[in-house]
Structure formats: structure tokens, C-alpha cells
Amino acid sequence: MSTAIVWFRRDLRLQDNPALDAAARAHERVICAYIHAPDEEAPWMPGAASNWWLHRSLGSLDSRLRERGSCLHIRRGAALATLAQLCRDSGAVAVYWNRNYEPVPALRDAHIKQALRADGIDAQSFNANLLAEPRDVHTQQGGPYKVFTPFWRSLRAQLQPRPPLPAPVRIAAPLLDGSVGLDALKLLPSIRWDAGFEAQWRPGEAGAHALLERFIDDALVDYSQGRDQPAEDLTSRLSAHLHFGEIGPQQIVWRLLGEDRPRSERGRTAAEGFLREIGWREFSQHLLHHFPHTTLRNLNAQFDHFAWAKDDPGVLALWQRGRTGVPMVDAGMRQLWATGWMHNRVRMVVASFLTKNLLHHWQHGARWFWDTLVDADLGNNTQGWQWTAGTGADAAPYFRIFNPVSQGERFDPQGDYVRRWVPELAGVAAPLVHQPWRDADLLRRTGYPQPMVDLRESREAALAAYRDMRAT
């Protein structure tokens, strides 16, 4: 009987999993394996919040496999050596996996494919997590896009909704020794800072589809108007599920453009608006593929000469803990710490405050998000921070500085979001809740801090530094 290995990574699902589908069709027995080798992703090994999600997602995947007569074989060690040993132990003649497009894992995977094939093992990889291969979306001159709108126009024209591949009903697998228990990976924190995560999230394939159904039924029709309001539950919250491959973008496209597509004009408009946001995820991966250096360096090399402030751990700590004295910023940073997630509008506000009002390099923010977000994704994280800092592709111009007060008054007009996450201000009405420093007695009563910088003065300092860079 022919045996194959399916190497699970960022594709922790059974439905619409092309590597699993191909293996199940071509072989009588399939070994489902996960290899824990975080050092092979350096310098961007998964952060603490990502590891929390991964632990539960792997557990969910193992449960679903056991329902089908299989299990998830968990190993630790170098990926190539572990796969080669698995092949020897099982007699597997093929290894299948779905592609990871991050620069370091992509190079590793290419080496693994070459080495396995040289050893006589059939090694095949598939696209499970993007709408299109990054190389297949290009300008008329054949180069990569650096502006989102023409990129999305090109990608949108290529979209062909297709029904998802079915999950295998039964998976026959040989008995194997050598697996380790999930707890042995030590993905969960020893100090339980994750208490708030349990109530917020349901990692795994079933949780992803339940969230998609809720979003389509309850929020999609209002998405275009409500997605910028952090106090409202009108976003999909699918980002972590997409990152870990518990659901694929093609499955979402099928729900929105396929047989179950919205019938009303308003519904179709809302679906297109949401698909455009999925397009931003694709754009981030496109940039990561074509400009892999941007995870550590500016895409716009002019900013290599920008006069960032000297690193100040005390300043960074106030920002990280949500103690800046600016309510919209503090609310976002506290939401992040408590839940592992932050509303996208607020992500832009807190990133602008760090890079432009505090003049700290965007890498400090990218690293903090990487460790604290359950949806930490290298493409999205890099693109988001470079966009806000003004250093990347299709970036907000450096002189566009988000004012956290006006952003709060516009997108949280009643102050509900701030009051939820900054309990010191729970009894303060809008608009004062967005600028409590106007009432010195209020600050004394609540213990809420004064702003760590003057918003107007720090804005002018940022603009002056930008002018100096351009002159240089």
C-alpha cells in the first residue's frame, strides 16, 4: 500500500486543503504530521500570542483527524531531517505540503523539496492560503505592484469562485512511534496572562466557519459603513483563522461570489467591500514575496536617513501598557493585551502615535504586535507598520499624522470603546472622554495620566524631521 506524508504548517484545516486532498487521492495511507521547528523561521519566530493560538488549533485539528480514524503526528526538530526520518519509519514515498510565502520558510521549503526529490521522495507543494500566486499578479511590464488599487484591480479580474475541496471522510494511516504530546511543545504561557483570550476566541476550523457564518448573517450588510467603528462588532475577526489556515480565502470568495452570494444590491456591495479587505492581505503577501528585505528594513530607502528618536525603554513601556495619557491609544493597547487583537482603525492610530508623535522606529511597534497579536502575520504586520510610518509601498504620506483625538471623536463618537478599555474614564461622557486633560480635576480623581507628549508639538516635530530628511 502506498503511503504519503502531509506536512501541516499554516493550513490547519481538512476542508479545501489541496495538499491533503492530493495525498488522499493518490495514496492508500496518509500520515498527517506537524513538525515544530520555530528556529527555522528566525528572525521572526512565532510570538507568545501566536503560540497560544497554535496550541489550540493543533489540538482542534488532531480531534478532527481522530474522528476520521487518523491523528496528528507531532514531532520536534529540523524539518528536513524529521521528514526524512518519517519517510524511513513509514515507508512513505511522497511528501505533500501547502506553501508558506514568508521569505525564510520559503527558502527552507525549496531546499527541502530539492533534498527529498534527490532522495527519491516525491515532494509536492500547493497554494492553499492565497487567492493567487504572488508571481501571477504583475504590472503590464511584468514587475510587482507597489500601489494597492491597480494590484486589486488585476487580482479581482482573475478571481474565479470555485467550490471548496471536501474534507476526507476517512484517513487510513499506519501506526507510528515517536510523536510527542502537544503539551511538550510548551506553547502556552507559564504565567497565565491569556485569561481573556479564552472568552474571545475559538481557534480551529469549526471556529473559523462559525465566525464566518456569524459575520455574513449579522454584520456583512453593514460592513462598509461600520468597519471603522471600534465599539461595534462589525468586522469579521477572521484574521487569525486566515493566518493559521483554518479557513482559506478561496472558501470566503466562494461564500461571497459563488452559489450563496448575496442577492440584494446592498449585499453585493458589502461583499465587494469585504473582498477588497481580503485583497489587502494578498497585497501584503505580494510585497513580502517581491521585497523580502522589508521585514527588517524600509521599502523606501530614503527613510534609512530619518532622524528617529533615541530608543527609550520607558517611553516604549508606556505605549505598550496603554499609559500614554491619550485615551484612544490607551484603549487600543489595553484591548491588545487583554484579547490578543485590536480593531484595525485603532491599529493605525496607535502605530501613528508611536512612529510620528513619539518618533520611535516602526520596528519597535512591529515587534510588539508580533508578540501580542493572535493574528500576527508577517506580511500584514510589515505592510501595516510601514504603511502607517510612511516608509513602505502605497504608504500614507509621512505628513499624514493620525490625530488620536479627532479619530476618537469621529469613529468612537459616544466614547463607548474608550470607556470599555480604559475603566478610569468609565464615567466620563463624550467628547471629554477623548481629551480628559481639559479637566485637571478629572485627572486627579481618576488617576488617569496627562498625555506623555503634546499632540500639536510632537506633530510639528515629526514634520520638521521629515523636512530635514528630504533636504538631506
Element (H, E) at 123: strand 122-126
Q: Which of 52, 201, 368, 385 is catalytic?
A: 385
Q: Which of 152, 362, 370, 387 is catalytic?
A: 362
Question: Given its phi and psi angles, is residue 227 left (phi above 0), alpha (psi -120 to 50 degrees) or beta?
Answer: alpha
Cell numbers representing residue 207 in the block: 471556529
- Residue among 283, 238, 236 at smallest CA distance from 384: 283
14: number of Cβ within 10 Å: 22
The DSSP result for 133-165, as a single string, is -GGGS--TTS----SHHHHHHHHHHH----PPP
Please tell me the distance from the alpha carbon of residue 11 to that of residue 452, in angstroms, as a whole number. Answer: 43
Range 113-134 burial, b when 16+ CB lie within 10 A, else e: beebeeeebebbbbbbbbbbeb
- Residue among 304, 309, 298 at smallest CA distance from 386: 298
Q: Do residues 104 and 296 touch, judged by C-beta distance below 8 A? A: no
Q: Do residues 54 and 46 touch, judged by C-beta distance below 8 A? A: yes
Cell numbers representing residue 41 in the block: 523561521
Q: How far is CA 463 from the centre of its chain?
A: 30
The length of the chain, given as a count of residues:
472
Would you give the DSSP letter of residue 240?
Answer: H
Backbone torsions φ then ψ of 309, nearest 5 degrees: -65, 155
Q: Is 298 a known active-site residue?
A: no
Q: Is 100 a known active-site residue?
A: no
Q: Is 277 a known active-site residue?
A: yes
Q: How far is CA 262 from the centre of its chain?
A: 27
Would you give the DSSP letter of residue 84?
Answer: H
Please tell me the distance from the alpha carbon of residue 221 to that of residue 218, in angstroms, as a whole number. Answer: 8
Please tell me the distance from the alpha carbon of residue 240 to that of residue 401, in angstroms, as a whole number. Answer: 28
Q: Which of 280, 319, 387, 421 is catalytic?
A: 280
Cell numbers representing residue 54 in the block: 497554535
Exposed (0-12), middle (13-18) or buried (19+): which is 317, by Cβ within 10 Å?
exposed
Q: Is 205 a known active-site residue?
A: no
CA distances to 231, 295, 342, 366, 400 from 369, rounded to whole Å, are 21, 13, 10, 5, 22
207: number of Cβ within 10 Å: 18
Q: Which of 41, 232, 272, 277 is catalytic?
A: 277
- The beta-strand segments (E) located in 349-455 are none
Catalytic residue list: 277, 280, 308, 344, 362, 385
